[in-house]
Structure 1
Amino acid sequence: MDNKKLKEIMKAQGYTIEMLSLISKIPVGTLSKIISGITSNPGYETMSAIAKALHCSLDEFSGRPVLIPYDYEEYLRRFKLLPTCQKEYIKYVIDLEYDRMIHLQNDKKISLRCYEFTNIVDGWAELDSAKTHNVTVDKNLLTDSCTFLVWLRTDLLEPKFFKNSVLGFQRNEGQRPKSGEIWIVLHNGLLFIGRFYKSHERFILKSLNGTIDDISATDYSQYRRLGLYVGCVDVPELTNEKTAFGQD
């Protein structure tokens, strides 16, 4: 039993001796002797009660690594309470951030994650219907600015983007959209690619093909901006067809 390790675990979780005593049902005096090192070999039942109260394993008291950092436990608890669409969004962001760290493969190639949404109705896509493809593309100014790609397997965005276009997006939730920019956003649990317009101090998001009613985009809390469109990318490994795209 390493009493210093026990102190570290208590400090990491913000526990006092009194709090630990209340939760573990072990007297304060007994805990004080254990924590100070006076009692160097506490009984199994005592240490088991302490471990349960601290949400850790008995092995950790001997200095073995923590499986889940304590400050993440509350986030995990909250994650489990979220609706499915929000869980999918969080996993999506984690994937993108991971890819951001490793996407530079070498000086000439870049590895990017490409999403293919299989359930699209009238331009709206379900986030959890996504298939993912890890693709390698030539490194250039366009691909270097991309965070992720979207492979259009539909003609719903014609005439701006034709079927089999691969769209490059740059993830930047902190950037506010400018009039005329195309973004992919999450609204009411569904994905939508549209163009922002400013009208009388109000922002609206318009569909690219006129099939979806204008969305009020002035209140940023009503939707999430997932990525700014930066250009079409040619990815031969996804399709043998030359990537097609419309003109402004």
Structure 2
Amino acid sequence: MASGSGGVAGVEMQKKRTAILISGRGSNMSALLSAAEAPDFPAEISLVISNRPDAAGLQVAEAAGIRTLVLNHRDFADRIAFDASLDAHLRIESIDIVCLAGFMRLLTPWLVERWRNRMINVHPSLLPAFPGLDTHGRALEAGVRFHGCTVHFVRPVMDSGPIILQAAVPVLPQDDADGLAARVLRQEHAIYPAALRLLAGGQLSVENERVEITGARFPTEVMISPEA
């Protein structure tokens, strides 16, 4: 486990080594990288892994001085082989926490359970509503008044798992899927770093598949978008 600065009264803070998994541009990865630059942030981004060698986020991570790794899923016989390699690399790098940031691979239950309560994901809807893809279009079609995003612990069932933080935005009469997506994405960039801070700081526990937050004021300022 790596050391960091920013401890209280001269005590050095031990930061949690964090890996980010991406498949594309990694905009949420960039938000996590930016947050982790703060001296008092309890996680350090130690590794970025992509299953796609052409993922634009790899260049962003490299420019930030972060170690990167490509595990091309096409090079593996099946999902089990891919996940076994992924798990091995995470453990070689002494990773404590895994963040999924636009990682477009379904992970096997074997891997998810090995990282139980240490793997988190951000999803562009107010789960349990609209799991899966095309969340913004589906929200508009359903006529909901509020949409948003969720950071949750990963479980074997896709887009399930105990909810850590959510942010809501109003659905406006003029919204289309792209405009709504852009406003939700801004909230993703706010709550994902906030959730990682809570997890790495030891402020989260899971009881009966519900998340308890302790030792900090609940961050309501990032929960509801003021946009009208």
What's the TM-score once normalised by structure 2's chain length? 0.24
Question: Between Structure 1 and Structure 2, whose CA radius of gyration is higher?
Answer: 1
Asked which structure has the greater RCO (Cα within 8 Å, sep 6+), the reply is: 2
